[in-house]
């Protein structure tokens, strides 16, 4: 009896006629099934007092597992709230009970396994959610069928401006037995947030799309029985967002700029419905696409110092750069062995953050430290300050403190291709052990034809003992724009995901600067072409073949590097998400299953072909 009401309210209060023929239809079928097959209950459970249809068994089992998983993750507070608030009718009906429980639980929680929708800090999201719901209600004023606030009425929802528009479909007055989540009159904050959250999700769905959207509001009553019940709405909006981005990119590729323009605006709106990493990624990509469509000149190349600052914040937020530095240092340490003089040529000096750790390791080397010489290459500074010398001075101070003989020289070059080994004042290989280091610099040379070959030739002429290269593990240099776009979307989604996992508050300076840093890369990959497009990342396999054909042999990074990297990552909160992988002697750092950066080490091939 009561179950019938429950099903009824489920199908009628939700998306009603036009929106929900499928959900209503399904509910109806289920109901009829139950009426027909009174003997269809599973017998064993019936003995225990539970009525579950045999046909439903697998489904109920799956949902019970999900419920268990979800409940296991909740902290005590929301769990007890769950126990207090939910009204269950006919608890012998396991199927309905578990659906109601899952719908309760769905509203405040997100699916942690969802890669696009990252873990949300619920408490910090509250204000954000409140603000955002206002915004989305303003934008999606025709989403009245999802205007859930009409149901419990003004008691729970004091009027916001603009007041909710008149309903397009008359909502039936909710039957009193409706097993709603807690009567909102009594519980101000948490249920409100539950509803607000799904209000965002549902209002973001395109009202023009048909029946599938009816499943989006999960709060009022149990969702469709056939859907796997874990936060359907934001997931859907997220999927829709990605599809729209892809469609826009395709339109750009086909030079259909009118369509692209419309789509990119839509993306911008959809992006607002998301939260966290997905939102930021979508916004960055939307901006980049807009720049490409409107042919806005690429952003002014940043002053080198500003770029350094951005990278410093990125260094502090997440382990990628630290990983790069530590693994490269380990390779250098192992290569130089017991030599007395070391000369490192660093293509990516920036703030010199890589070298303190190496100098410390040299200082503690059994047998005493070698003399350490560093040549740093940097871009010209617009205000003529000698940034390189400042870095050199700091490093010299450190070296003196820990007792390492140190020498520094800085070279200014606007592009690495301008480098001439003769200028570098290199000692002969017998006198000093030379090593070349490049972190995220070589890929820029691919923008100029011939540049990379010139630089590799230059490196060979220096006769280094070891060359350490760290590059992004991504294929952002393909000839087809759409492929580049897709690749970079996945890559930067993972990267932003990992930023979220770092536990920093979203409005900390570090976090925002890191996002700007990555956002600029995205703009470069998507919006620029030709010599302006500097972020031409290539995969490890591509670099391998390039280095191999240029006369370099791979050097395997040892287990020490792997161990040190693993230890380093274990220190980071969110460290469980990071993965160190060994790939034929090279080390890759990734987020969950996606490798993001790769460190490799090279030496000159011993053959004569070093011309």
Partner 1 sequence: MTRDKEEKRRQALCINDHVDILLEILKRLDGRSLCTAACVCRLWRALATADSVWEHLCLRRIASPGSSVRPVVSALGGHRRLYMLCVRHLLTRLGRDPGSSSAWDELQLSLSLFCVDYYERLGGRFGDTAATSSLMFLCKPVNV
Alpha helices (H) along 49-186: 57-73, 76-85, 94-106, 122-139
C-alpha span between 296 and 523 (Å, rounded): 11
Q: How far is the CB of 317 from partner 1 (least distance, A)?
A: 8
Element (H, E) at 600: strand 594-604
Mask: binding to partner 1, 268-307, rule CB under 8 A, as x and -? Answer: ----------------------------------------
Residue 397 makes contact with partner 1 by CB under 8 A: yes
Residue 25 makes contact with partner 1 by CB under 8 A: no
Q: What are phi and psi of 604, to 5 degrees?
A: -70, 140
Alpha-carbon Rg of the chain, whole angstroms?
30
C-alpha span between 304 and 348 (Å, rounded): 12
Residue 570 makes contact with partner 1 by CB under 8 A: yes
End-to-end C-alpha distance for the chain, whole angstroms: 89
Residue 568 makes contact with partner 1 by CB under 8 A: yes
Identity of the residue, 79 or 361, whose beta carbon is nearer to partner 1 in the bound complex: 361
Beta-carbon contacts of residue 434 (< 8 Å; ≥ 6 apart): 343, 344, 345, 426, 427, 462, 463, 464, 465
Short-list 353, 536, 335, CA closest to 436: 335
The gap from C-alpha 183 to its chain's centroid, in whole angstroms, comes to 37
199 within 8 A of 146, measured Cβ to Cβ: yes
Residue 364 makes contact with partner 1 by CB under 8 A: yes
How many residues of this chain interact with partner 1, rule: CB under 8 A?
40
Residue 385 makes contact with partner 1 by CB under 8 A: no
Q: What is the DSSP letter of 398?
A: H
Identity of the residue, 48 or 571, whose beta carbon is nearer to partner 1 in the bound complex: 571
Short-list 436, 360, 424, 347, CA closest to 388: 347
The gap from C-alpha 202 to its chain's centroid, in whole angstroms, comes to 23
Q: Near partner 1 by CB under 8 A, which window of 50-58, 127-135, 351-359, 586-594?
A: 351-359
Question: Within 10 A of 302 (CB to CB), how many other CB atoms are there?
Answer: 14
Q: How far is the CB of 517 from partner 1 (least distance, A)?
A: 15
Residue 575 makes contact with partner 1 by CB under 8 A: yes
Q: How far is the CB of 401 from partner 1 (least distance, A)?
A: 5
Identity of the residue, 56 or 510, whose beta carbon is nearer to partner 1 in the bound complex: 510
Residue 73 makes contact with partner 1 by CB under 8 A: no
Give the bridge partners for 602, in sequence order: 467, 554
Q: Spell 73-103 as b/e; 16+ CB within 10 A means b.
A: eeeeebeebbeebbeebeeebbbbbbbbbbb
Q: Near partner 1 by CB under 8 A, which window of 14-22, 148-156, 255-263, 364-372?
A: 364-372
Residue 182 makes contact with partner 1 by CB under 8 A: no
Give the bridge partners for 56, in sequence order: none
C-alpha span between 579 and 570 (Å, rounded): 10
Residue 403 makes contact with partner 1 by CB under 8 A: yes
Among 395, 446, 458, 462, binds partner 1 (CB under 8 A): 395
Identity of the residue, 437 or 502, whose beta carbon is nearer to partner 1 in the bound complex: 502
Q: How far is the CB of 359 from partner 1 (least distance, A)?
A: 7
Q: Near partner 1 by CB under 8 A, which window of 63-71, 153-161, 397-405, 443-451?
A: 397-405
SS (H, E, C) 362-411: HHCCCCCCCEEEEEEEECCCCCCCCHHHHHHHHHHHHHHHHCCCEEEEEE
β pairing state of 586-591 and 594-604: antiparallel
Residue 102 makes contact with partner 1 by CB under 8 A: no
Identity of the residue, 360 or 605, whose beta carbon is nearer to partner 1 in the bound complex: 360
C-alpha span between 221 and 199 (Å, rounded): 14
Q: How far is the CB of 509 from partner 1 (least distance, A)?
A: 9
C-alpha span between 11 and 21 (Å, rounded): 9
Residue 609 makes contact with partner 1 by CB under 8 A: no
The gap from C-alpha 360 to its chain's centroid, in whole angstroms, comes to 34
Give the bridge partners for 410, in sequence order: 376
Q: How far is the CB of 573 from partner 1 (least distance, A)?
A: 4
Q: How far is the CB of 397 from partner 1 (least distance, A)?
A: 6
Among 573, 584, 585, 609, binds partner 1 (CB under 8 A): 573
C-alpha span between 42 and 53 (Å, rounded): 6
Mask: binding to partner 1, 187-216, rule CB under 8 A, as x and -? Answer: ------------------------------
Distances (CA, A) of 143 to 205, 243, 571: 9, 21, 46
C-alpha span between 117 and 496 (Å, rounded): 11
Q: How far is the CB of 576 from partner 1 (least distance, A)?
A: 6
Q: How far is the CB of 571 from partner 1 (least distance, A)?
A: 6
Identity of the residue, 238 or 577, whose beta carbon is nearer to partner 1 in the bound complex: 577
Residue 361 makes contact with partner 1 by CB under 8 A: yes
Among 504, 588, 596, 604, binds partner 1 (CB under 8 A): 504
Q: How far is the CB of 506 from partner 1 (least distance, A)?
A: 14
Q: What is the footprint of partner 1 within residues 506-565 (CB under 8 A)?
A: 510, 560, 563-564
C-alpha span between 313 and 517 (Å, rounded): 9
C-alpha span between 378 and 414 (Å, rounded): 7
Identity of the residue, 249 or 557, whose beta carbon is nearer to partner 1 in the bound complex: 557
Among 134, 139, 341, 394, binds partner 1 (CB under 8 A): 394
Q: Rule CB under 8 A: which residues touch partner 1?
A: 315-317, 319, 326, 352-353, 356-357, 359-361, 363-364, 366, 368, 394-395, 397-398, 401-403, 502-504, 510, 560, 563-564, 566-568, 570-576
């Amino acid at each position: 009896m009561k179950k019938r009401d429950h099903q009824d309210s489920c199908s009628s209060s939700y998306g009603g006629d036009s929106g929900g023929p499928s959900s209503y239809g399904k509910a109806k079928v289920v109901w009829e099934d139950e009426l027909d097959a009174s003997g269809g209950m599973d017998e064993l459970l019936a003995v225990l007092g539970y009525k579950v249809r045999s046909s439903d068994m697998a489904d109920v089992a799956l949902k019970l597992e999900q419920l268990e998983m979800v409940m296991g993750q909740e902290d005590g507070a929301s769990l007890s709230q769950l126990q207090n608030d939910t009204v269950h009718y006919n608890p012998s009906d396991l199927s309905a009970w578990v659906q109601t429980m899952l719908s309760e639980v769905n509203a405040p929680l997100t699916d942690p396994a969802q890669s696009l929708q990252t873990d949300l800090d619920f408490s910090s999201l509250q204000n954000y959610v409140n603000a955002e719901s206002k915004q989305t209600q303003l934008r999606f004023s025709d989403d009245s069928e999802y205007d859930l606030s009409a149901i419990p009425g003004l008691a729970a929802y004091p009027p916001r401006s603009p007041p909710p528009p008149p309903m397009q479909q008359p909502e039936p007055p909710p039957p009193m037995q409706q097993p709603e989540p807690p009567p909102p009159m009594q519980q101000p904050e948490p249920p409100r947030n539950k509803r607000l959250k799904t209000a965002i999700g549902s209002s973001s769905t395109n009202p023009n799309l048909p029946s599938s959207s009816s499943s989006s509001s999960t709060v009022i009553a149990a969702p469709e029985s056939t859907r796997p019940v874990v936060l359907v709405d934001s997931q859907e909006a997220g999927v829709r967002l990605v599809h729209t981005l892809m469609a826009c990119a395709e339109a750009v590729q086909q030079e259909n700029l009118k369509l692209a323009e419309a789509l990119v605006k839509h993306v911008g709106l959809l992006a607002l419905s998301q939260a966290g990493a997905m939102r930021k990624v979508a916004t960055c990509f939307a901006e980049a696409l807009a720049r490409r469509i409107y042919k806005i000149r690429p952003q002014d190349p940043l002053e080198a110092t500003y770029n350094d600052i951005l990278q410093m914040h990125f260094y502090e937020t997440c382990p990628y750069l630290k990983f790069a530095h530590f693994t490269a240092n380990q390779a250098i340490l192992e290569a130089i062995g017991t030599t007395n003089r070391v000369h490192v040529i660093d293509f990516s000096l920036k703030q010199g953050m890589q070298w303190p750790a190496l100098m410390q390791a040299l200082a503690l080397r059994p047998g005493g430290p070698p003399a350490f010489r560093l040549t740093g290459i940097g871009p010209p500074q617009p205000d003529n300050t000698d940034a390189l010398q400042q870095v050199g001075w700091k490093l010299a101070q450190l070296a003196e403190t820990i007792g390492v003989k140190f020498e520094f020289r800085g070279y200014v070059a606007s592009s690495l291709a301008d480098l001439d080994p003769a200028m570098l004042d290199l000692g002969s290989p017998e006198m000093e052990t030379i090593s070349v280091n490049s972190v995220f610099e070589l890929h820029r040379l691919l923008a100029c034809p011939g540049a990379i070959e010139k630089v590799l030739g230059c490196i060979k002429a220096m006769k280094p003992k070891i060359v350490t290269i760290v590059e992004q593990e991504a294929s952002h240099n393909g000839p087809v724009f759409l492929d580049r776009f897709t690749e970079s979307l996945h890559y930067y989604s993972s990267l932003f995901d990992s930023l979220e996992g770092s536990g920093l508050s979203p409005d900390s300076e570090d976090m925002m600067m890191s996002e700007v840093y990555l956002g600029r890369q995205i703009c470069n990959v998507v919006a620029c072409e030709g010599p302006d497009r500097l972020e031409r990342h290539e995969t490890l396999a591509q670099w391998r073949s390039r280095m191999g054909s240029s006369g370099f042999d791979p050097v395997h990074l040892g287990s020490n590097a792997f161990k040190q990297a693993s230890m380093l990552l274990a220190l980071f909160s969110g460290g469980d998400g990071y993965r160190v992988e060994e790939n034929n002697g090279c080390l890759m750092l990734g987020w969950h299953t996606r490798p993001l950066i790769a460190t490799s080490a090279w030496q000159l091939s011993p053959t004569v072909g070093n011309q």
